[in-house]
């Protein structure tokens, strides 16, 4: 589809949005790209010189995203979590996006809440603060009290019009991605159309707050045996696609918490253990646990906020991630190479495994040294870069886990700078993997089970060698024992006799019926005598065979 056709059949708002996007791209020095895409023939095109000082291309793309407003910022924030979908340099730039958005006016928020519930705001909430306690690109949060029970709650409201603008932006992005794939072969390896479609799926999930409520309930169920880790409880009777009511949690950010050194250390270790449990044991994890989404409550509890982005891992991927952590910490490049191949899409036929192991060995050496930072998430992302260099395409779930781990570790380091994830994660990963493989395994029985498994494995090579030596010398024999073989002939005879008797009985009954039908032969009481005799004999035989069967049983 050419641009003129697109404009002709596009709603006015979307056409105007496309005009804005093209103008901003041109202003930041992307005129050559627009010309290659054929957009200079658009009816709104005005050729102009870029007004900005030349900057690196990734920096300019970040500035464009900020200039295009909150919906573009939201798209950029989601993309920043997916270095498997976009170049790493662009991903790093998008992580620094600043929203700088004024809050929506209270009348707009009140109208959105009343439309969602179909009732006046005063009937829903006793108090509703006009100024938000938190703002984001697509929503803002207000403190309120329920009208029925007076409970203190947080009301998360999707900004009016955001959903329509996001849909229009994604339609335009998909159109531009199709043009890129068609007219710019250099970007085809990045699969721009696939990226936009995956982005559309993620945006759709985040815009529906019922999904976030489901995630919060699942998270609290996951930690039901450890109340020190929790999420705000959603009020299920007041959850709508565009409004979410939940408990209001008073807490402190991790970087401003003024607890004792012991409290800070315990909270950091608690957060690290919670992350490993989410990812490797349960397979359900918070996808964006940065500083702004974590709170310290009551000096000893950790609260997670904003469950719009969560990950779910299949059991096989969960196990592979545990192996990945153990291999990284244990300096086992062969094991890590096997794991990353399992966690990637189909490997190229010419994959050089030895070269892959060499590159992974360098990543592991960095992970184990103090100058490497000791952050598992950053090294997992380095592993994904090594995979791409060797033609492997890591699965999106693996990349999301890496980003979540990196955000978690960076946040926990604010609590306890001496935290050493590299030293703690390997043991946690092994313990969680064993608990998943052996349900109900306690800490005390863990080493007992390991010792028993070790004894069995230690004896296996010696016993296998003895079997192979006998096999090679032709001395391996197999002994078969048959129990009660002498009774088998009598049993077969008994079965044969019964089958024969049953066949004779059936034949007599059928022939007697035929005689009755023909009426031939002498008559007794008006019935054929031979037929009566046959029925009598077949009846006696049937009774006899049945009696024998019951007696033997």
* Mean pLDDT (10-residue bins), the chain, 553 residues: 48 68 82 73 52 73 83 79 72 71 89 95 95 89 95 95 86 84 74 82 90 96 94 96 96 90 92 88 88 90 93 84 78 85 78 87 78 71 85 81 87 86 62 54 48 60 66 66 58 72 73 68 71 75 74 67
Burial bucket for residue 205 (CB in 10 Å: 0-12, 13-18, 19+):
middle
Q: Strand runs (DSSP E) across 241-391, as ranges? A: 243-247, 252-253, 284-286, 294-297, 301-304, 310-312
| Pairwise CA distance, residues 242 & 80, whole Å | 24
Q: What is the pLDDT of residue 210?
A: 96
Q: What is the pLDDT of residue 62?
A: 86
3-class SS at 349? coil
Q: What is the pLDDT of residue 108?
A: 95
Domains of the chain: which residue ranges?
3-99+164-201, 249-441, 444-474, 488-552
328, two tokens: 């990284």
The pLDDT tens digits of the residues spanning 408-438 come to 988 898 888 888 776 666 565 555 555 555 5
C-alpha distances (whole Å) from 42 to each of 7, 45, 46, 51, 61 are 8, 5, 9, 21, 22
C-alpha distances (whole Å) from 418 to each of 94, 424, 530 are 29, 12, 107
Q: What is the pLDDT of residue 8?
A: 45
For residue 344, the cross-strand partners are 394
DSSP letters spanning 415-446: H-TT--HHHHHHHHHHHHHHHHHSTT--HHHH
Residues taking part in catalysis: 288
128, two tokens: 């509703």
CB 425 within 8 A of CB 276: yes
The pLDDT tens digits of the residues spanning 286-345 come to 988 988 899 999 988 999 999 988 988 888 888 888 788 778 777 788 888 888 888 887
359's CB contacts (< 8 A; 6+ apart) are 386, 389, 390
| Pairwise CA distance, residues 326 & 320, whole Å | 10
pTM of the model: 0.69
């Amino acid at each position: 589809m050419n641009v003129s056709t697109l404009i002709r059949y596009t709603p006015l708002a979307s056409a105007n949005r496309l005009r804005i996007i093209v103008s901003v791209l041109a202003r930041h020095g992307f005129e050559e790209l627009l010309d290659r895409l054929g957009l200079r023939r658009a009816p709104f095109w005005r050729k102009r010189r870029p007004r900005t000082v030349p900057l690196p291309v990734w920096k300019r793309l970040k500035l464009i995203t900020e200039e295009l407003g909150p919906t573009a910022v939201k798209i950029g924030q989601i993309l920043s979590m997916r270095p498997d979908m976009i170049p790493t340099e662009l991903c790093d730039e998008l992580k620094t996006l600043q929203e700088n958005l004024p809050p929506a006016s209270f009348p707009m928020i009140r109208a959105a809440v009343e439309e969602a519930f179909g009732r006046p705001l005063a009937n829903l909430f006793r108090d509703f603060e006009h100024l938000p306690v938190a703002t984001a690109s697509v929503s803002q949060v207000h403190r309120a009290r329920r009208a029925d029970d007076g409970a203190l709650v947080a009301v998360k409201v999707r900004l009016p019009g955001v959903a329509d603008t996001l849909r229009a932006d994604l339609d335009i992005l998909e159109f531009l991605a199709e043009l890129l794939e068609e007219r710019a072969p250099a970007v085809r390896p990045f699969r721009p159309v696939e990226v936009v479609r995956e982005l559309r799926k993620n945006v759709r999930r985040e815009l529906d707050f019922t999904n976030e409520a489901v995630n919060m309930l699942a998270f609290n169920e996951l930690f039901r045996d450890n109340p020190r880790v929790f999420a705000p409880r959603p009020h299920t009777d007041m959850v709508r696609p565009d409004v979410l009511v939940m408990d209001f949690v008073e807490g402190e950010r991790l970087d401003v918490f003024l607890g004792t050194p012991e409290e800070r250390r315990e909270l950091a270790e608690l957060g690290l253990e919670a992350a490993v449990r989410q990812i490797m044991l349960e397979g359900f994890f918070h996808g964006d646990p940065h500083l702004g989404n974590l709170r310290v409550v009551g000096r000893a509890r950790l609260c997670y906020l904003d469950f719009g982005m969560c990950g779910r891992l299949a059991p096989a991927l969960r196990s592979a991630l545990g192996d990945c952590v153990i291999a990284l910490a244990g300096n086992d490049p062969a094991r890590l190479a096997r794991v990353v191949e399992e966690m990637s899409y189909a490997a190229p036929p010419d994959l050089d495994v030895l070269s892959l192991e060499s590159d992974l060995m360098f990543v592991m050496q960095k992970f184990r040294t103090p100058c490497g930072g000791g952050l598992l998430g950053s090294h997992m992302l380095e592993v994904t870069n090594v995979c791409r260099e060797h033609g492997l395409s890591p699965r999106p779930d693996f990349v999301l886990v890496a980003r979540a781990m990196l955000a978690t570790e960076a946040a926990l380091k604010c609590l306890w700078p001496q935290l050493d994830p590299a030293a703690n994660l390997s043991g946690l990963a092994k313990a969680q993997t064993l608990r998943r493989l052996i349900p109900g395994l306690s800490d005390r029985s863990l080493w007992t089970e390991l010792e028993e498994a070790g004894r069995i494995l230690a004896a296996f090579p010696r016993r296998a060698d003895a079997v192979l030596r006998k096999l090679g010398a032709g001395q391996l024999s197999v002994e078969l024992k048959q129990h009660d073989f002498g009774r088998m002939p009598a049993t077969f005879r008994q079965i044969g006799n019964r089958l024969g008797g049953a066949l004779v009985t059936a034949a007599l009954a059928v022939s007697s019926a035929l005689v009755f039908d023909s009426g031939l032969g002498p008559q007794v009481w008006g019935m054929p005598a031979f037929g009566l005799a046959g029925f009598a004999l077949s009846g006696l035989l049937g009774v006899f065979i049945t009696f024998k069967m019951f007696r033997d049983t």
